[in-house]
Chain A
Amino acid sequence: MAKFIIRRFFLLVLTMLLVSIAVFLIVESSPGNIAKNVLGAFITPEQEASFLAQQGLDKPLFQRYWFWLVGSDRVAERKCGFELERIETASGFQEWWVKGENGSLMRWNLEGEDLFVYIRKDNVTIEKRKDNERWVKAGDGSSIFWGIDRNNHAVLWVKGASSEVWNFVVGTGWIKSTGGPQSYIPLKKGFLRGDFGVSLRTGRPVEKSLFIRLRNSVVLAGIAFVVVMPFALLLGMVAGINEGSFQDRFLSIAGMIFSVIPEFATGIFLILIMAHWLELVPGASVFGEKAPWQRPDMLILPVLTLTLIELGYVLRITRASMAEVMRSAYIRTAFLKGLPFWKVIFRHAAKNALIAPITVIMLHVNWLMGGIVIVEVVFGYPGLGQYLLDSALYKDVNAIEAGTMIMVLLAVGTQLFADVLYTFLNPRIRYS
C-alpha cells in the first residue's frame, strides 16, 4: 500500500512537471504578444521591447522555465554579489531588497546619470542618497553596476558614452541619458519554493488573486456536491432496484439528458426560466470583493446548474452499480430468506452498491471541474475558472501555470485519494 502511494505520488510529480513544461511550450509557441495584450495595440516597438525586457520575457525559454521553477534570486545574487531578501511591507506588498551592512536593506534607482540608493532601516524609515561610488569601470569606458531596482528586478545599469538610452523620469518626461538599465532579471523564488510569480496582466503576485478565486470555486463546488449527492444516490438506487422498469428508464434517460447538455446551455435555460421569466432569483453572481456566502441568493442558479449536470452523472453510475448488486446471488438469498424488502435494500444492497459511485465520482473530478469553469463564466462568478480563462486569453504565463498546477494537483490528488479510499471500502482490492 505504501509502495502504491509512493508510486502514485511520484507519478503526480512527474505529471505536474510534464504539464508545466507543456504549458510553457504551448504559450510560447502561440501567436500573439503579451505586451500588446497588456499595453494595448498601439504601443511602439521600443515600448514593447522595454516591457518584454522588464518582465524577463526576452530571455531564452529554458532559462525562463528554470526561473519559474526554482527562482531567479540565486542567479541574481551571483550577478550582483549581494545577499537578497524578500520582505512583505506593512501594506502587503512583496519587495526584494539587498541585505546591506548592519541589518539595513538597500535598493537603487538611476535618475539621469546618478545612481541613488534607498536604505531601509529598522523596517520603517527609508533614506535616499546619491551612491555613485558603486559604479564599476568596464573596458570600453563605460561603467556598470548590478543591483536591485525598486520594481523587484535585478538590473544591470550601464553608463557611458557608447550607450544612449531614453529613460522615462516621473515628473520630467522622456530624457536622453548615456546610462540606463541594460538587462533585467525579475526576482522570484520559483514554484518549487512556493512562489507563483507575478501576474503579467495585473502586476500583482499570482497567489494573492489565485487563492481567493480558488476559495470561491471550492465554495461553489462544495455546496453543489452537498446538494447533489443525497439526491443522486437515492434516485440512482431507486432506478437500479428495478432494472428496466418505467421509473428506471425515466430516471436514466432524464439523467443522461441532463448530463450531456452542455453546461452553458443548461445555465442559459435556467437563467431564462428562473431569472428572466419567473424573476425569482438573480441571473448572475457578481459580488466583486465580497465572499460568496454574503450573497446566498446569487449562489442559487450556479448551484442549481451544477446540480443538474452532476445529478445525471452520479445517478447513472449509482444505477448501474445498484442494478449489478441486485442481480447478485446474496441479494436473492436475502429475499428468499424472507427478509423485508427495504431491509434487503438498505442492509445488504446499498452498502455494496455505493462503493463504486463514491470512488468513480472522485475519479471524474477533472470532468466536473470543466463544468465548474463554464458555470463560472455563464454566471460571471469570480472563481478559478474565470481567472484561468482570462489569463489564457492574455497569455499571462505565470497565472496560467499557477492555475494549471492547482487544477492538476486537485484532479490527480483526488484520484489518488479515491484509489486509497477504495481499498478501505472494498477490502478485496489490494494494490501492489
Chain B
Amino acid sequence: MDNTKSTSKKNQNSNLDQNIDVPKKGKGRFRDTLKILFSSKAATIGLILVLFWVFVALLAPYITSYSPMEQDWKAPNKGPSIAHPLGTDELGRDIWSRLAYGARIVLIVMPISEKLWIPGGTAIWGVIAALFCGASLGLISGYKGGWADEIIMRLLDAMMSIPVILLYLIIVAALGASAVNVVIAIAIVGTPGVARLVRSLTLDIRTRDYVRAAETRGETLLYILFMEILPNAKGPIIIDAMLRVGYAIFAMGTLGFLGLGMPPPSPDWGSMVAKGREFILIGNPWASLWPSLAIASLVVGLNLLADGLREESMRYQ
C-alpha cells in the first residue's frame, strides 16, 4: 500500500510540474484525468460500476433477449434460470431486460410522452435543470449582491429548511407521476444547493481582474455571468454535478418506490422494488433484490467516482 501511494504521489508531482509549464489541451489533459482516476482504487471501482451501467443502458436492446414489457404467463415469479438470467417478476417479465431498459431511462433517454423520447437520461436532465436554475440564481446573487442577494438567499434558505422528502412528495404527488414531473422535482430540490455553491464561487471570482476588464469593456451582464464567471467556476461545479447525478438517481428510485416515479408498465427500478417487495412473502426475493442491487451499485459507483476525483483534485491544489 505504501509503495503504490508513493508512486502515485510522484506521478502527481510530475503532472503538477507539467501543468505549470505547459497548459495541456485535448489528449494530454484526458490522460491526466485518467491518471488521477486510476491512482485511487475507490475511484477506479466507481468508474467501472458507472461504466458498466452506462454500457448496459446503451446496449440494452442487444444484450437482452426479451422486451421489458413482454409477459410470460407460464413463468411468473421465477428465480434465475438459463432462459431468464435474473429471474422473472410477478407477470413473468424478464428482470434483466427490465433492469437494462430501466438503466436507459435513468441514464440515456427520457420519456416525455408515449411517443416522444429525448436523449439524456431522466436523472441527467434533472441535474441539468437544477444546475441551470441554481447557477443562474447563484451567479446573480453573488455578482449583484445587495437586496437581490438577500432576497434570493433567504428564499433558498427557506426552501432548504423544508425536508427534501416532503418537497418530493408534494411536488410529484400533486403534479402526477411522469418523467417530466420527476425532472421538475429533482430540479427544484437541487436548485438551492447549486445556487449556494455557485454564489460562493462567484463571490471569489468577481474580484478577479478579468471580470474588472470585462466590466470596463462594457460587456453585458449576461456575458459577464455566463462567459467570464461561470467557466472559471466549472471545476467544483462539475464534481458537485456528479454527486448530484447520484442524488438524482437516488431520488428517482425513492420516488419510484413510493409509486410516484414513471407510470407503469415502464421499467422503473424503484417501482420494480416496490412491486417485488410484495412477493417476498410468497418466496420470490429476486424481483426486489436485483433492482435494489442495481440502484445501490450505480449510486455507490457515482459517489466513489466523485469522491475519488474530488480528493485527487484537492491534492493537486
Q: How far is the CB of A246 from chain B (nearest CB, A)?
A: 7
Q: A366-B163, A374-B254 are in contact. Are A393 and B300 (CB under 8 A)?
A: no
B174–A30 touching, CB < 8 Å: yes
Known: A256-B307, A374-B165. A283 touches B253 (CB 8 A): no
Binds A, one of B205-213, B231-239, B289-297: B289-297
Partner of B170, one of A11, A253, A276, A400: A400
Q: Which of A14, A249, A366 contacts B158 (CB 8 A)?
A: A14
User: Judging by beta carbons under 8 Å apart, are A264 and B270 in contact?
Assistant: yes
Judge whether A15 and B176 touch: CB under 8 Å.
no
Contact B288 A15 (CB under 8 A): no
Bound together, the chains give a CA A283 to CA B295 distance in angstroms of: 21
Complexed CA–CA distance, A377 and B171 (Å): 18
B102 within 8 A of A: no
Give residues 4-44 of A contacting B (CB, 8 Å). 11, 14-15, 18-19, 23, 26-27, 29-32
For the complex, what is the distance from the CA of A265 to the CA of B297, rounded to whole Å?
10
Which of B158, B246, B277, B307 lies in contact with A268, CB distance below 8 A?
B277
B contact residues, range: 35 or more
Residues of A within 8 A of B293 (CB): 265
Residues of A within 8 A of B307 (CB): 256
Minimal beta-carbon separation of B149 from chain A (angstroms): 16
| Residues of B close to A408: CB separation below 8 A | 161-163, 166
Are B280 and A271 interface neighbours, CB within 8 A?
Answer: yes
Interface check B154, CB cutoff 8 A: yes
**Cβ A370 vs Cβ B163 within 8 A:** yes
A369: chain B residues at CB < 8 Å are: 163, 165-166
Asked whether A411 is an interface residue with its Cβ less than 8 Å from the other chain, the reply is yes
B299 with A261: CB separation less than 8 A: yes
Rounded to whole Å, the gap between the CB of B45 and the closest CB of chain A is 9
Task: Flag A383-427 by CB within 8 Å of B: 1 or 0 each.
Answer: 001001100110100001000100110011001000000000000
A262–B253 touching, CB < 8 Å: yes
Question: A282-299, CB under 8 A of B: which get 1 and which 0?
Answer: 010000000000000000
**Residues in A neighbouring B157, C-beta threshold 8 A:** 11
Residue B285 interfacial (CB < 8 Å) = yes
A263 within 8 A of B: yes
Among residues of A, the one whose C-beta sits closest to the C-beta of B177 is A393
Whether A30 lies near B176 (C-beta < 8 A) is yes
Interface residue from B169, B250, B273, B288 paired with A392 (Cβ < 8 Å): B169
Chain A residues positioned under 8 Å from B164 (CB to CB): 366-367, 370
The distance in angstroms between the C-alpha atoms of A92 and B27, with both chains bound, is: 76
B151 interface residue per 8 A CB criterion: no
Tell me if A411 and B161 are in contact (CB < 8 A). yes
Return B22 CB to nearest CB of chain A, in Å: 31
How many chain A residues touch B (Cβ–Cβ < 8 Å)?
Answer: 52
Known: A261-B299, A268-B277. A392 touches B173 (CB 8 A): yes
Complex Cα spacing A31 to B175, Å: 7
Q: How far is the CA of A30 from the CA of B177 in the complex (A)?
A: 11
Report A182 CB to chain B, min CB distance, Å. 31
Contact yes or no, B170 A268, CB < 8 A = no
Residue of A249, A260, A367, A370 near B300 (CB, 8 A) is: A260
Task: Report whether B161 and A268 are in contact in the complex, using a CB–CB cutoff of 8 Å.
Answer: no
Chief secondary structure at chain A's binding surface: helix
A261 engages B300 (CB within 8 Å): yes
Given contacts A19-B162, A265-B253, are A31 and B176 in contact (CB under 8 A)? Answer: yes
Please indicate the chain A residues that have their CB under 8 angstroms from the CB of B288 in the complex.
268, 272
The CA-CA distance from A176 to B175 in the complex, in Å, is 40
A283-B280, A388-B169 in contact; A415/B161 too (CB < 8 A)? yes
A257 close to B (CB within 8 Å): yes
> Does B258 reach chain A (CB closer than 8 Å)?
yes
- Across the interface, which residues of B come within 8 angstroms of A256, CB to CB? 300, 303-304, 307
B158 near A15: Cβ-Cβ < 8 Å: yes
Q: Is the CB of B165 within 8 A of A370?
A: yes
Smallest Cβ-Cβ distance to B307: which chain A residue? A256
B247 CB, min distance to chain A CBs, angstroms: 9
Q: Out of A26, A246, A260, A366, which one reaches B303, CB within 8 Å?
A: A260
Are A276 and B285 interface neighbours, CB within 8 A?
yes
How far is A26 from B181 in the complex, measured between Cα atoms in Å?
13
The interface residues of chain B lying within 8 Å CB-to-CB of A263 are 254
Whether the pair A26, B174 counts as a contact (CB closer than 8 A) is yes
Q: Inside 8 A of A26's CB, which chain B residues have their CB?
A: 170-171, 174-175
Partner among B174, B246, B253 whose Cβ is within 8 Å of the Cβ of A264: B253
- Chain A 234-261 residues near chain B, CB threshold 8 A: 246, 249, 253, 256-257, 260-261
The answer to whether B161 and A412 touch across the interface, beta carbons within 8 angstroms, is yes
Indicate if the CB atoms of A260 and B299 lie closer than 8 Å: yes
Q: Which residues of B contact A155 (CB under 8 A)?
A: none
Asked whether any CB of chain B lies closer than 8 Å to the CB of A84, the reply is no
Q: How far is the CA of A249 from the CA of B299 in the complex (A)?
A: 19
Q: Provide the bound-state CA to CA distance between A19 and B163, in Å.
A: 11
Query: Is B162 a contact partner of A366 (Cβ separation < 8 A)?
Result: yes
- Measured between beta carbons, the chain A residues less than 8 angstroms from B303 are 256-257, 260
Q: Is there an interface contact between A265 and B296, defined as CB atoms closer than 8 Å?
A: yes
B299, A385: Cβ atoms under 8 Å? no
**Which residues of B come within 8 Å of A, CB atoms?**
1, 42, 154, 157-158, 161-166, 168-171, 173-176, 246, 250, 253-254, 257-259, 270, 273-274, 277, 280, 285, 288-289, 292-293, 295-296, 299-300, 303-304, 307
Q: List 12 A-B contacts (CB under 8 A).
A: A15-B161, A30-B173, A31-B176, A256-B300, A256-B304, A260-B246, A261-B295, A268-B289, A269-B296, A277-B285, A370-B168, A378-B277
Instruction: List the 10 closest pairs (A to B, CB-CB), nearest first.
Output: A370-B165, A392-B173, A30-B174, A366-B163, A265-B292, A15-B158, A369-B163, A261-B296, A264-B257, A268-B292
A: residues with CB less than 8 A from B are 11, 14-15, 18-19, 23, 26-27, 29-32, 246, 249, 253, 256-257, 260-266, 268-269, 271-272, 276-277, 283, 366-367, 369-370, 373-374, 377-378, 385, 388-389, 392-393, 395, 400, 404, 407-408, 411-412, 415
